[in-house]
Chains A and B, each alone.
Chain A
Amino acid sequence: MALLEIKGLNTGYGDLRILRDISMEVNEGEIVALLGSNGAGKSTLMRTIVGLQRTWSGEVGMGGKSITNASSGTIVKSGISIVPEGRRLFAGMTVAENLEMGAYCNRKDIKHRIDKIFQDFPRLYERRNHLAGDLSGGEQQMCAVGRALMNEPRVLLIDEFSLGLAPTVVDALTEVVYEINRRGVSILIVEQDVQMVLEISSRAYVMEVGAITLSGDSKELLGNSKIKEAYLGLE
């Protein structure tokens, strides 16, 4: 069943249309990949889903309810969290405070959830009283994932999370994404590392200049000649 559903979505900045008639869905328990070159509109789509960008037309639905142009609070409460591009932690707040802010709309039992995050990321526990801005890139990414999980989302959006991180760190984080998914959280992931993301996802959408041009089963897309050529550098 479709959990997050986008129908005929259009949006842009000023007069400039960026997204054209985007329709896609993320089902319960899935990992869905969103591929495309720079400027294809992947991040704009993510921003629109979480309400940072207004929808011109079309529908965004979550769990059967419309969240089109809803307030940020409503969207977060509907069960959507994001690990944004560039991590966007509250640099001047401690790691623990960042995690707390993730639970801003879902404050019950917060202590228990923070402990759970610290169990998943022991490194964050060690750094809990440090300012988030002082962490290394990998630690910041863990903190961003932790902050998003504090909301106990049903759909987790992950935008470019390997950007600027060491390969070993990316591997560890990929493991984490897998684990989060196993616990029942659906994931929509935007990622430059196409090989990796097609391996962990079950379905994928490919975007080009603001429209979805290709979609399907990730395993099939891995074998698709167009994908191989455009994104994997294979002949």
Chain B
Amino acid sequence: MIVLQILINGLLLGAFYALIGIGFSLVWGVTNIINLAHGAIALLGAYLTFFMFQQWHVDPFLTIPVSFTVMFIVGYMLQRYLMNLVVKAQIFILLILTFGLEIFLVNFMTTFFSADFRSVTPDYAGHSLILGDIVIPYIRMAVFFICVAAAALMALFLDKTWQGKAIRATSLDIEAAMMTGISPAKIYALTFAIGSGVAGVAGTLLTLTQAFSPNIAGGLTLRAFIVSILGGLGRVEGALLGGLVLGVLETFSSYIVGESYKNAIAFGLMVLVLIVKPSGLMGRKYYAEVKH
């Protein structure tokens, strides 16, 4: 029975990892930017939720649209007026830029929000669904479904809308996209905005499931990175699968070999996937054949 409980815990955690990975993977796949500040951007969303809950007792779930909108705008500005200036530079320069942004954001949060661990605990936090030996907290279940729904919405957006298709077209062939009249600068900004917006949502959901401080930003980015590699770049379904795999793997390895090995095991799996199937578990033909 404990195995089933661990599996469920893993899936619940994995859906969150998927959500944090989706935006990261999209930005990487389309703009070729490995956004090391992704985790920090998610944390900004988390603090938005935290302060709204603390100051005005706004239900954390209701702050999801706020986190999305605010981080969407922040992401758009960042790409349009900062990243786009250097987007054609070598990947190393972009890494340094996003790394710098990461340091800035983490220190900004530490200065103004303190390095204390925070958590958001609405009244209904303690309630769980109990099925025999299996315990599933309602909040985690809700987080799981929101993550899956967000992934589905994102996939639908990329598949069905003009803007979504333009994003895919730009990721496939930027010059051909320009020939059809698409402005890559705008599409890059939109992509980064969506990636940041979704990260903001992930941050909001994070407050409901664990304590957080500015210092966990790096850990979140790391998860997003592994999820993207596992699933295959730029593909929503891939990130979803990658997240679930990572979540299950982490919970099982914590249980079997101990908490301290989980990073090593996650990275081990990532390296294995890179060797066996470099395009990721669900890498889509022609997409994100890793550039540079």
Contact = CB atoms under 8 A, between A and B. Distances in A.
B103 to A, nearest CB: 34
Given A92-B286, A104-B182, A84 B176 contact: yes
B271 interface: no
Given A101-B165, A101-B166, A93 B181 contact: no
B180 interface: yes
Interface in A84-121: 84, 88-93, 97, 100-102, 104-105, 107
Contact of B175 (A52, A75, A77, A97): A52
A225 interface: no
A52 B284 contact: no
A149 to B, nearest CB: 12
Nearest to B286: A92
Contacts, number: 75
B169 interface: yes
Mostly helix, strand, loop or mixed at chain B's interface?
Answer: helix
A64 interface: no
Contact of A71 (B165, B169, B183, B286): B183
A161 B25 CA distance: 35
B116 interface: no
Interface in B255-292: 284-287
Contacts of A100: 165
Nearest to A150: B180
Interface residues on A, range: 20 to 34
A46 to B, nearest CB: 10
Contact of A102 (B172, B180, B285): B180
B178 interface: yes
Which of A73, A102, A131 is the most central at the interface, judged by chain B CB atoms within 10 Å of its CB? A73
B179 interface: yes
Given A77-B181, A104-B166, A92 B176 contact: no
A82 B179 contact: yes
A130 B182 CA distance: 23
A100 B181 CA distance: 12
Given A73-B183, A133-B286, A90 B178 contact: no
A105 B180 contact: yes
Nearest to B284: A92
Count chain B CB atoms within 10 A of each CB in A77, A93, A100, A151 and give the residue with the most.
A93
B56 interface: no
A71 B172 CA distance: 20
6 contacts: A72-B179, A89-B176, A90-B176, A92-B287, A105-B180, A147-B180
